Homo-oligomer: A and B are copies of this chain.
Amino acid sequence: MRATVIHGPHDVRIEEVPDPAIHKPTDAVVRVVSACICGSDLWAYRGVASRVAGQRIGHEFLGVVEETGGEVTGLVPGDFVVAPFVWSDGTCHFCREGLHTSCPEGGFWGEVGSDGGQGEAVRVPFADGTLVKLPGELAGEEKLLPSLLALSDVMSTGHHAAVAARVRPGATVAVVGDGAVGLCGVLAARRLGAGRIIALGRHEQRTAIAREFGATDVVAERGAAAVEAVRELTRGEGAHAVLEAVGTEESMRTAVSVTRDGGAVGYVGVPHGGSAGVDIAQMFARNIAVAGGVAPARAYIPQLLPDVLSGAIEPGLVFDRTVHLDDVPDGYRAMDDRTALKVRIAF
């Protein structure tokens, strides 16, 4: 089969790779129907996160179960499924508590020795614990696929930021980051009843989606000017809940600075800047909490799915380009130079 392979910075290729097969009785093989490129894939693409030449890449996909191992009890060939961006055994303490990302048996698609999501098929470890079964009739509903695919990571991750930031009905929320996760954070905050949502971003196409997702205000400034702008919008106080969806030192510093005293930052941007932005002296004086991390999408997908099916939320609107598998390298380039927000892959 063909899959996306990363060889080095700015060097992703579509290559012929061995067909996936059942290795363990808890495995399944899933034929991918739809996948996508994540903003966090760009850390590897840009060489900021190191990869072994030849590693697979991609961690968001949905598809149809093609084969199952002998111990898989909850899935059969033909089932339509969505995969969270990490796999997990579904049976450990952490999985049972809903923190599947801390499963000791868990792993990340594309890590050495595993398949990535940006390929024609994927061997899925711990299929029962990992995959979420979707109503089978949806497999053909092209219009719903983008939003179902968004559950794999960006919508679940935006939701995690909102939960960690303690978004409550009526709360004032600020969202730092206008990538797909930040936009899904806006949508998640609206879904949780936020009264006011301030999106920080300057890219007009993205802020337009932010408004469509529920942002009531957009702040185009950055750094100290952004902090001042958010304070002006909030009686000088800042936002009760701030979603950090970038991961740099600067974005975390902005997030802490625009948080109202006693409020919380929900951080989901993969940290790439050390801890200096987590300004503990400021946090201490103003009782600001920092919570979040890698989102347990496996726990959130079943919670968010009904609202996708009902149309109450449409996170798939973050996709603004679709490429065929052969053109995935173009998709990376487009996301890298910000001419595309989020690229979906068709098969």
Contact = CB atoms under 8 A, between A and B. Distances in A.
A267 B289 CA distance: 10
Interface string A219-262: 00000000000000000010000000000000010000000011
Nearest to A101: B287
B294 A285 contact: yes
A284 B262 contact: no
B289 A290 contact: yes
Interface stretch (A24-32, A58-66, A68-76, A273-281): A273-281
A203 B252 CA distance: 38
B270 A252 contact: no
A284 B247 CA distance: 10
A283 interface: yes
Contacts of A275: 275-281
Interface in A269-325: 270-271, 274-281, 283-294, 296
Contact of A278 (B94, B278, B294): B278
A55 interface: no
A287 B294 contact: yes
A271 B287 contact: no
A183 interface: no
Judged by DSSP, the binding face of A is mixed
Contact of A271 (B237, B284, B289): B284
Copies in the assembly, this chain: 2
Given A262-B99, A290-B290, A252 B267 contact: no
A114 interface: no
Interface residues of A, number: 36
A294 B284 contact: yes
Interface centre among A261, A274, A287 (most CB of B within 10 A): A287
A164 interface: yes
Given A281-B271, A284-B271, A99 B261 contact: yes
Contact of A270 (B264, B270, B276, B284): B284
A97 interface: yes
A293 B286 CA distance: 7
A284 B267 contact: yes
Contacts of A285: 293-294
A274 B284 CA distance: 12
A12 B293 CA distance: 46
Contacts of A294: 284-285, 287
A286 B102 contact: yes
- The 5 A-B pairs of least Cβ separation, nearest first, read A289-B291, A287-B293, A102-B261, A99-B262, A284-B293
